[in-house]
Amino acid sequence: MWSRTMGVAVVGLSAMCAAPALADPRLDEIVYSPYVENHMLELEARVGQEIGGGSLSNARTLVTEVEYGVSDRLSLALVTKVQRAPGESQRLTGVGLEGIYYLTQIPTVGVDVGLYGELIKGVGGASDGGEAKLLLAKTDGRFQGLFNFIVERPFSGPRGEVFASYGYAASATWRTVGNLRLGAEAFGDFGDDHGFLNHPQGAYVGPQLKWEGRPRFLPCEIGVDAGWLAAVGADRREASSQFRLNLELARRF
């Protein structure tokens, strides 16, 4: 039941986004889980690229993270963000610190809950900012559903542009052969301080592939997360689709 519900939810969120509105491509996002592994060092690089004609055509974001599991509940990471706006060269736009804290599992429904926090120091004229997420996860046999509620806010900027925006990231995947998981993911918006859920928002939604394992010839685990997402609603004015790829190396110390 939970797997069907979460699978429908991922697609349903994109259906909410069918009417024009301002959109955030959230190219720097992935769908986070609330789980933390103690003493695990992770090196991660992820890239998001807008594809097709539109106002954000060929925009790209590259994020790198060095993360360490401080305990069974807390991990901390150093983060860098490199972005390329349409018609501009690629440049470093932020360096920061992020943390994930596992809270608990909700009884009866079996949903795991965690919190995410990030502080970014803007570089090259980019604003300093903060981001917080509520992380939810449900695992049922071969199925896993993840949902992130996102709040982000710049700390400085032009008058009238310093306000919080709200969004989501969600995925529903099933383990198929070995460690290969297939499913779908979606990234979209709920609005901002000027209007929360008072207008349908844009989104990106599409198929997702995930794999993790430890090849015999390597001393570490490898994780791959890839998706090709179609623009829905207002986001079709920005680009027709997005390609996302996340690569991760992990080793316990």
Q: What is the pLDDT of residues 157-198, one digit of tens each?
A: 877 778 899 999 999 999 999 999 999 999 998 988 888 877
Percentage of the chain surpassing pLDDT 90?
Answer: 72
**Closest listed residue to residue 48, CA positions, set 84, 2, 99, 15:** 84
pLDDT category at 212 given cuts 50, 70, 90 is very high
The radius of gyration of the chain's CA atoms, rounded to the nearest angstrom, is 18
d(CA 66, CA 80): 9
Q: What six digits make up the tokens of 47?
A: 């890239």
Average pLDDT of the residues in 23-49: 89
Mean pLDDT of the chain: 89
Query: In this model, does residue 41 exceed pLDDT 70?
Result: yes
Per-residue model confidence (pLDDT) at position 60: 94
Query: In this model, does residue 62 exceed pLDDT 50?
Result: yes
CB-based contact 70:82 (threshold 8 Å): no
Query: In this model, does residue 24 exceed pLDDT 50?
Result: no
d(CA 200, CA 45): 32
Handedness of CA 152, 156, 158, 162 (dihedral sign): positive
pLDDT category at 10 given cuts 50, 70, 90 is very low
Count of residues making up the chain: 253
Q: What are phi and psi of 185, to 5 degrees?
A: -140, 160
Per-residue model confidence (pLDDT) at position 9: 47
Query: In this model, does residue 238 exceed pLDDT 80?
Result: yes
Per-residue model confidence (pLDDT) at position 180: 98
C-alpha angle 63-58-135 in degrees, rounded to nearest 5 = 40
Average pLDDT of the residues in 132-148: 97
**Confidence (pTM):** 0.88
Average pLDDT of the residues in 52-56: 90
Average pLDDT of the residues in 81-108: 95
Name the DSSP class of 59: -
Q: Which residues lie below 8 Å from residue 249, measured CB to CB, with a gap of 6+?
A: 42, 43, 44, 220, 221, 222, 223
pLDDT category at 203 given cuts 50, 70, 90 is very high
Q: Are strands 180-192 and 143-154 parallel, antiparallel or unpaired?
A: unpaired
Q: Which of 82-86, 204-208, 243-247 has the lowest mean pLDDT?
A: 82-86
d(CA 228, CA 182): 12
**Closest listed residue to residue 14, CA positions, set 181, 224, 169:** 169
CB-based contact 31:146 (threshold 8 Å): yes
Map out the domains of the chain with their CATH numbers: 2-244 (2.40.160)
Average pLDDT of the residues in 82-91: 92
d(CA 212, CA 119): 28
